[in-house]
Amino acid sequence: NVSSHGMRLLTDGLWKCDTNVIVQSSEYELWARAKVIYCQPFSDRTFAIGLELTTRTGGWIIRSSTL
C-alpha cells in the first residue's frame, strides 16, 4: 500500500512510533526518508507499519503521483 505521502509495509520486527527510517526501492533507484506512524500486529510473526514520507527523491515524487 503506497501513496505519495506514505505507505504500509509488512515486517517481521516491532518498530517504535516516531522512528526515522530510510526506504529504498528494490533496485535502489528510489529512496525516501520516512517516520513510523504506527506498528500493529498483522499475524503471529508479522507486523504492519505505517510510514509517513518526510523526504523523497525526485523520481519517487514523479512515480508516486501516477498511483
Q: What is the pLDDT of residues 32-60, one digit of tens each?
A: 889 999 999 999 999 999 999 988 665 65
User: Model's pTM, two decimal places?
Assistant: 0.76
Binned at pLDDT 50, 70 and 90, residue 63 comes out as low
CA distance 54 to 7: 12
Number of neighbouring beta carbons within 10 Å of residue 51: 22
Q: Where are the domains of the chain?
A: 6-64
User: For residue 43, what is its C-alpha cell?
Assistant: 499475524
| Residue with grid cell 512515480, as numbered in its chain | 63
Residue carrying C-alpha cell 499475524: 43
